[in-house]
Amino acid sequence: MADGPAPFARYEWMIAWRYLRATRAEGGVSVMTWISLIGITLAVAALIATLAVRTGFRSEFVDTILGANAHATIYSTGKVDEQGRVDRSIADYAAMAERLEQVPGVMDAAPLVKGQVMVANQGRNAGAEVFGISAADLADIPGVAESPDATGDLSRFGEGVALGAALARELGVQVGDGVRLISPEGVRTAFGTSPRVKGYEVVYVFSAGRYDIDRTRVYMPFAEAQDYFNREGVADQIDVMLDDPEHVQQVELALLQAAGPTAVIWTWQDMQGGFLRALQMEDNVMFVILSILVLIATMNIVSGLIMLVKNKGRDIGVLRTIGLSEGAVLRVFFICGAATGVAGTVLGVTLGCLFAIYIDQIFAVVDYIAGGGVWDPQIRGIYALPAELQLDDVLSAVALSLGLSFIVTIFPARRAARMNPVEALRYE
C-alpha cells in the first residue's frame, strides 16, 4: 500500500495561501488577517522595546554606580573616646589599604576623608559632599577620570578641587574660577568651634553620568581634606575598586580578613540592593503585562480563522469529499493562522529593534513636540533614556509570540478538520 503525501505538502501550502489572500467578495477574511497582523506586530514591537529599555536602564544605572562609586567600602567599628563619642576614623589607613590591594581581584584601595560643606560663588550657594582623595586614586575612578564631557586638567588636582558638572552649572563656575567651601566643623578655638571658610580653584569639572553625583560631589586632595576637616593622620573610610564588581560577594570575606578585626564592609549591592530588587520586580511585572498584550493580539487570529472556517465550509466539504484527510485540513488552516503570526512577529521584531536603535532620535522628536522637559534628570537620575538590545530578550519575545500564535491557531483548525462533509454540502 502506497504511503500518503507527507505532512505540510505543497498543495496544503497552496490552499492556505489561496485562503490568506482571498478577498471578502470571495468569502475570505483579508481584513481580519490584516488586523491580526498589525496587532501582533505592534505587540511584539512594544515587548521588544520595553525589554530593551529595561535592560538599558539597569545597565546604565549599574554602570554609573560602578563608574563613580566604590565597589566596596571599608569602615571601622570605632572606639569610644573620653567624651563618650564613637570615633570611627582609621589611623592605620595606609597599611590597611596596602593589605587590601593584595587581595586577588582588587584593582585599587583608596583612603578617603568625607565631609559635608556649602559651596559658594558670587551669591550662589549649594550643599555638597567633599571626598578627600589622592590624585593617584582619583585617576582610578573611571566615571571621573574618563568622563567624556570633562573639562580642565586632572593633573592639576593637587592645586584645587574637582566639581561635578551639575554643581558647577548651578554655581555658575568654570575651570579656573574660584569657589568658597564653608564647613560648620571648622577652626577649634578656646570659645568652641567656628565655621571654616576657605577658597579653592576649580581645576576639573566632570560628569559621571548620574545627576545626583554631578550635583553634589566635590573632590579635594587627601592631605588638604585632612586639614580642612580636622582629620589629621586619619581617614574616614577606604574605598575598594574591583576588577569584577558584579561578583563582589565572592571577595567580601577576603576583604574583611585583610582589613582586620575592627573592620566592617559595605558593598555597592548592599547600598543599591533595594533599588535593584525593585527594578527586577518591575521587569517581571512588565513582561507579564506585555505578554498578555501579545496574547490579546494573537486572539485576533482565532477570530479570523473562525470566520474563515465558516465562510469556507463548502470548500472544506469538497476537499474532504475528494480525499483530503482531517490532518490535511487541519494543517491548511494551521498554516493560515501560523503564517499571520510569523509575519507579525518578523515585522514586530524589526520595528522594536529599530525603536531601540534610534531611541535617542525618537525621544528628541517627542521632546521637541512636547516643548521640552520629557526626561528630567533630576527625577530619573540619569541624563537620557537608555536602550540596550540583547539577543536573549529578542529571542524571548519571538518565542512568546510564535508560541502563542501556534497554540491559539490549533483550536479553530481542529474545528475545520472535524467538520462533517455531508453537513457542509447538505444545502449546497
* pLDDT tens by residue, 212-270: 888 889 999 999 999 898 888 899 999 999 988 888 888 999 999 998 888 899 988 88
Distances (CA, A) of 35 to 22, 42, 300, 302: 15, 11, 7, 12
Residue 348 reports pLDDT greater than 90: yes
Residue 290 resides in a domain = yes
- 45 and 180 housed in the same domain: no
Residue 73 resides in a domain = no
- Number of domains within the chain: 2
- 87 and 173 housed in the same domain: yes
Of 231, 261, 291, the last residue of a domain is 261
Residue 2 resides in a domain = no
**pLDDT given at position 359:** 84
| Percentage with pLDDT > 70 across the chain | 85
Residue 31 resides in a domain = yes
The whole model's pTM is what? Answer: 0.70
Measured distance CA(3)–CA(11) in Å, rounded: 16
Phi, psi angles (nearest 5°) of residue 335: -65, -40
Residue 335 reports pLDDT greater than 50: yes
- 279 and 254 housed in the same domain: no
- 111 and 170 housed in the same domain: yes
- 142 and 16 housed in the same domain: no
| Cell numbers placing 423 | 453537513
State the average pLDDT for the chain.
Answer: 82
Dihedral angle sign, alpha carbons of residues 118, 121, 125, 126 = negative
- 290 and 421 housed in the same domain: yes
Residue 171 resides in a domain = yes
Residue 269 resides in a domain = no
Of 261, 287, 314, the last residue of a domain is 261
Contact in structure between 208 and 160 (CB atoms under 8 Å): no
Of 213, 228, 261, the last residue of a domain is 261
Residue 108 resides in a domain = yes
36 burial level (CB within 10 Å; 0-12, 13-18, 19+): buried
Q: Which helix (H) or strand (E) holds 96?
A: helix 93-101
- 230 and 347 housed in the same domain: no
Task: Work out the pLDDT band at 420, boundaries 50, 70, 90.
Answer: low
- 14 and 59 housed in the same domain: yes
Domain ranges, residue 200: 78-261
- 123 and 251 housed in the same domain: yes
134 CB-near residues (< 8 Å, 6+ apart): 110, 111, 221, 222
- 26 and 146 housed in the same domain: no
Other CB atoms within 10 Å distance of the CB of residue 369: 9
Residue 71 resides in a domain = no
* pLDDT tens by residue, 68-94: 888 899 998 877 766 667 778 888 999
- 288 and 359 housed in the same domain: yes
Residue 403 reports pLDDT greater than 50: yes
**pLDDT given at position 372:** 63
143 CB-near residues (< 8 Å, 6+ apart): 64, 67, 68, 69, 206, 208, 209, 213
What average pLDDT does range 119-129 have in this prediction? Answer: 90
Residue 334 reports pLDDT greater than 80: yes
- 92 and 200 housed in the same domain: yes
Measured distance CA(200)–CA(161) in Å, rounded: 6
